[in-house]
Amino acid sequence: MSEVLLHACGISLGYPREQGWHSVLEDFDLQLAPGEVITILGPSGVGKSSLLRVLAGLQQPRSGSVSLLGEPLQGPHPRLAVAFQDPSLLPWLSLESNVAFGLDFARQPKLAASERRARIDQAIEAVGLQHAREQYPAQLSGGMAQRTALARCLARQPQVLLLDEPFGALDEVTRADMQQLLLQLIARHNTAAILITHDIDEALLLSDRVLLLGNHPARTLGQWHIDLPQPREQQVEELGALRIDILKTLRRASRTPEPDSQPMPLPPETAHVPGRLHSHSS
Amino acid sequence: MGKHAVHGALGVAGLFGLLLLWWLGVQLFGATDGLSARFSPQATFSSLIELLGQAEVYEHIWVSLKRILIGLLLALLIGVPLGLLVGSYRHLEAATTPAFQFLRMISPLSWMPVVVMLMGVGDQPIYFLLAFAALWPILLNTAAGVRQLDPRWLQLSRSLSATRWETLCKVIIHGVIGHVLTGVRLAIGILWIVLVPCEMLGVSAGLGYFILDTRDRLAYSELMAMVLLIGVLGFMLDALARGLHRRWVHA
């Protein structure tokens, strides 16, 4: 095993109920290598967002542990950047100030003024918003706001980027643009990323590895390595086969009445099954 | 734009209606050459013009406005930090709300004798009473502002490893300014109402003092002119506060 950036081990999530505990997710393991892009895929309600909050140090799991570069993660870490479902821009700050927000916080690494300036400029340029740097969030479109949120993450030059369905609220075209932008940025900065999504196509297009969550309480139903080069849109056959395989795994799991007694299906490390890429219909 | 113009015109018409009622009241219920004639709009307006030509009245206005400003500043200095605290901690809120509601419902003027006994006559008891009157709307609105903060902003600041102090300075305070300004607007309304009776006690300047002074001089048309002036100044202060609030909320 090569170097591990982020290591999650035996994570369980749940919430207390009147009697006992309602378990949402059990026994989640993950190892993120430098430069790797992992997608955590799963239907709504399997605790994906909570899981991301745990990986970001924003929430404690019911059990299990997360470590970053071998150190246990005690809380939010300067090496980790999180992009939420919502851009979460501060309405009283201009786009530029929103991108810069947090750079000079006491727990962030100290930056010289020139370095700070350069990082903000680069981040804004990377997401193509130089023309709008003086604008306020109320004046930005949904796509621009999400780009700004991404730039805010980039300016911190994180080693790990955690993304919680960041393009969920965008229209198809903007979404495709943002996906391409994300891939470029990850490649350029050699950032590792964990992306939460419920969209199989997004997972197939973006990631090196897909982790599928499902069932109640949720578990990892399988994982797929995708070693296809970018851009992937042209490799319809291979992606289609993977897509069918993922859907089958999900269906098989949802038919299982008692999840605890079912051994996890072990999918092949890298699947190349002939097939066609279907439009998202499930 | 058209709607604004219509509303403005209706407002002006309402003010003229008020003037008409005033005139009618004096005409119907007063004897034409008796004491009541001195309360008529005609006498009042001529007195007002005369008063505005003298330096004295401006001094009284300035003194009163200064007291309002100091009372408001004191209330802000105490009310905003206290409101931030109360809004941040549920237990503190539960512990203080009944006490605040109790204190809020005591007219500040009822403290006047106590305050004068403790602080003596002069400006100090007035500052205290004004600050006490303005404190509640500012405190309660600030606390409400903290409770209504967008949780996503707080999550963002946590994810950026912000310290408590950074979250307070960079997120919470900015997020509640709109609410604080609402509190300030309500406070100005209350301050202006409380100011006049406060100034009727142990001071030798200010609009409230001047009202009593005109009464003692039997200058009733001047008294009415002062009443009118107090109304106009209060109206302008409120418009100012509203403008400030609107400016911030739009930005």
Q: In this predicted model, which residue has the larger pLDDT, A262 or B49?
A: B49
pLDDT tens per residue, range A113-131: 999 999 999 999 888 899 9
Q: What is the ipTM of this complex?
A: 0.80
What is the pLDDT averaged over residues B186-197?
90
Give me the pLDDT at residue A45, please.
Answer: 78
What is the pLDDT averaged over residues B164-193?
90
pLDDT at B66 over 90: yes
Nearest to A76 among B159, B166, B171 (CB): B159
pLDDT tens per residue, range A29-63: 999 998 899 999 888 878 888 899 999 999 888 88
- Please tell me if residue B174 touches chain A, with a CB cutoff of 8 Å: yes
Residues in A closer than 8 angstroms to B157, CB to CB, are 102
pLDDT at A194 over 90: yes
Nearest to B158 among A58, A90, A108 (CB): A58
What is the pLDDT averaged over residues B59-81?
94
Q: pTM of the prediction?
A: 0.73
Q: Which domains does chain A have, with CATH numbers?
A: 1-79+158-282 (3.40.50.300), 89-157 (no CATH)
Q: State the smallest CA–CA distance between residue A75 and chain B in angstroms.
A: 8
Distance CA B194, CA B126 (A): 10
Any idea where the domains of chain B sit in the sequence?
51-250
The interface residues of chain A toward chain B in range 40-59, judged by CB-CB distance below 8 A, are 56, 58
- Please tell me if residue B227 touches chain A, with a CB cutoff of 8 Å: no
> Using 50, 70 and 90 to split pLDDT, how confident is the model at A143?
confident
What is the β-pairing status of strands A6-16 and A21-32? antiparallel
- The closest alpha carbon to B238, from B200, B191, B179, B196, belongs to B191
* Crossing angle for the helix pair A142-155 and A172-189, to the nearest 10 degrees: 10
Specify whether the CB–CB gap between B129 and B76 falls below 8 A.
no
Distance CA A11, CA A30 (A): 9
Among the ranges given (A19-28, A32-41, A151-160, B68-77), the one the predictor scored with the smallest mean pLDDT: A19-28
CB contact under 8 A, B161 and A77: yes
Distance CA B239, CA B219 (A): 30
CATH topology of domain B51-250: MetI-like fold (1.10.3720)
